[in-house]
Amino acid sequence: MKKRFGFVSNSSSSSFVCDICGQEESGYDMCLSEAGMVECVNGHTFCSDHLGSPDVQEKYKRDVIIKYIQEHVLEENEELPTGGELDDLIEEYLDEAIDYDDGLPAELCPVCSLQCILDRDMLRYLLLTRGDNTALAYRDICEEIRREYKNDPSMFYADIKGVNLNENS
């Protein structure tokens, strides 16, 4: 009999951090949905609260499907039907317009659809568009942080914990 090497799969601790608000959920053998989080096709992980209420989500899904129908189903200059006819069309193209196979579709992700701009993406954008000034300011601020917190680096993380831009909360 072959002996199997490797880890004994005891329950292991897992933790998930929300990309949008920074909230952390952890527990033994916890999966993403148990943590109340979702992941999109592009790897953004966030609390399902950021998707909005079920009503808002339904409305948003509907808009995504309507956009798909307008772009892929209707002939040019053909008008979007209304009422029950539109509802039938939405029902018919639901699976084709929104594909959940690899996670939450990008159209429904607040980050992918730019409803929320992540801090790290904002910094990259500033470096891209405001180039030199941002790079200099960034270096200055890094120096400032190292100087201010050199005696106790953990205070830096304690101080910034929970700080969020209103934009993303």
Residue 156: what are its φ and ψ, rounded to 5°?
-60, -50
Please report, as a single letter, which amino acid is at residue 75. E
Question: Other C-beta atoms within 10 Å of 79: how many?
Answer: 8
Q: What gap in Å lies between CA 75 and CA 85, rounded to an integer?
A: 16
Residues numbered 45-74 forming contacts with Zn ion, rule: CB under 5 A: 47
Closest CB to Zn ion among residues 14, 134: 14
Q: Is 37 in the site for Zn ion (CB under 5 A)?
A: no
Cα(108)–Cα(149) distance, integer angstroms:
40
Quick check: 15 and 25 in contact, CB under 8 A? yes
Residues from 90 through 119 that contact Zn ion (CB under 5 A): 109, 111-112
Q: Which of residues 140-169 bind Zn ion (CB under 5 A)?
A: none
Enumerate the H helices of the chain as residue ranges: 54-72, 83-97, 119-129, 131-148, 153-160
The window from 41-49, 52-60, 64-72, 87-95 that contacts Zn ion (CB under 5 A) reads 41-49
Q: Which stretch in 14-22, 55-63, 65-73, 137-145 sits in contact with Zn ion by CB under 5 A?
A: 14-22
**Identity of the residue, 44 or 69, whose beta carbon is nearer to Zn ion in the bound complex:** 44
Q: Which is nearer to Zn ion, 98 or 112 (CB)?
A: 112
* Minimum CB distance to Zn ion, residue 74 (Å): 28
**Is 17 a binder of Zn ion (CB under 5 A)?**
no
